[in-house]
Amino acid sequence: MALLDLLLPPACAGCGRSGDLVCARCLRRLRPPADPVDRFYAADAGTLIGDALALALAAFAYEPTLRRILQRLKYMGASRLARPLADAAAPALRTLLRLSGPALLIPVPVHVERQRERGYNQAELLARELARCTSTRAGTLLVRQVATTKQHRLDRAGRLRNLRGAFAVNAAARPPPTVIVVDDILTTSATLETCASVLREAGVMHVYGFAIGREV
């Protein structure tokens, strides 16, 4: 791969400039979901508390640069983007790990048909790379047993209905006490909350969530 990059340098997924998968300029454009200056005046957009979900954090605001990068990762076969995204998001995950303690990183699963179309599950790639960055473990604990419709036009209630019965814990798995469910984008938290409910029912004591981007 290094030889290929030398012969044909990659184009930045954020701006298209030649030289890096994600250039330093675009990495600097990624900003937290909330301005630290506002921490005493408004709720932190990057932090959510659920019912079954103890706490969810997002590393960055889902703004144009990050949107372009994640779209390339998710829909255009650019699987190598998982590594620079995880490197950039790792500090936010370390913050969550200080709260959660030792935890297994598990991706939000995609249905087998959708994974066949894309060639991979982007959340699984991100979970593996985040585990590498933070010296934690990643594993596949959940399965998606229903091919749900796309959720981007649904509100939170609609998403929860759409996800009903979609996830299950792998029958051969032994759930650990604490997990962090990893996804690419956090919008209403419906997906993370649904995953958390299934995991809690299977015996997981503490379920946290982590996403690269927060869409508000």
Domain containing residue 65: CATH number: 3.40.50.2020
189 within a domain of the structure (yes/no): yes
* Distance separating alpha carbons of residues 187 and 46, to the nearest angstrom: 10
Provide the domain limits for residue 126: 31-214
The amino acid present at 13, given as its one-letter code, is: A
Angle formed at CA 91 by CA 85 and CA 96, multiple of 5 degrees? 110
Phi-psi region of 77 (alpha: psi -120 to 50; beta: other; left: phi over 0): left
Which pLDDT score, from 0 to 100, does residue 6 have? 42
Is position 101 within any domain? yes
pLDDT at 49: 86
Per-residue confidence (pLDDT) for residue 46, from 0 to 100:
82
pLDDT of residue 31: 94
Specify whether the CB–CB gap between 109 and 139 falls below 8 A. Answer: no
Task: Say how far apart CA 39 and CA 80 lie, in whole Å.
Answer: 34
* Complete edge-to-edge strand list for the sheet that includes strand 178-186: 47-48, 55-61, 206-214, 178-186, 104-107, 137-138
pLDDT of residue 209: 97
What is the pLDDT at residue 97? 97
Structure tokens at 173: 């798995």
Mean pLDDT, each 10-residue run in order, the chain (216 residues): 52 92 96 73 75 95 97 93 97 96 95 87 97 96 78 65 78 90 93 94 96 92
Q: Is residue 203 part of a domain?
A: yes
Would you tell me how many other CB atoms lie within 10 Å of the CB of residue 112? 13
Query: Is 70 a member of any domain?
Result: yes
CA dist 194 and 9 (Å) reads 41
With 0-12 / 13-18 / 19 or more C-beta atoms within 10 angstroms meaning exposed / middle / buried, residue 138 is buried
User: What does the block give as tokens for 89?
Assistant: 């998001």
Structural domain includes residue 79: yes
Q: Any idea which residue has 């979609």 for tokens?
A: 166
Query: Quick one: pLDDT at residue 86?
Result: 98
Is residue 13 in some structural domain? no
Instruction: Give the per-residue pLDDT at 50.
Output: 87
Q: Does residue 18 lie in a domain region?
A: no
Is 107 in contact with 140 (CB distance < 8 Å)? yes
- Inter-CA distances, 11 with 16, 23, 168, Å: 5, 9, 38
CA 156-40-54 angle, to 5 degrees, is 40
Residue 21 falls within a domain, yes or no? no
Domain count along the chain: 1
What is the C-alpha to C-alpha distance for residues 29 and 120, in angstroms, rounded to an integer?
A: 27
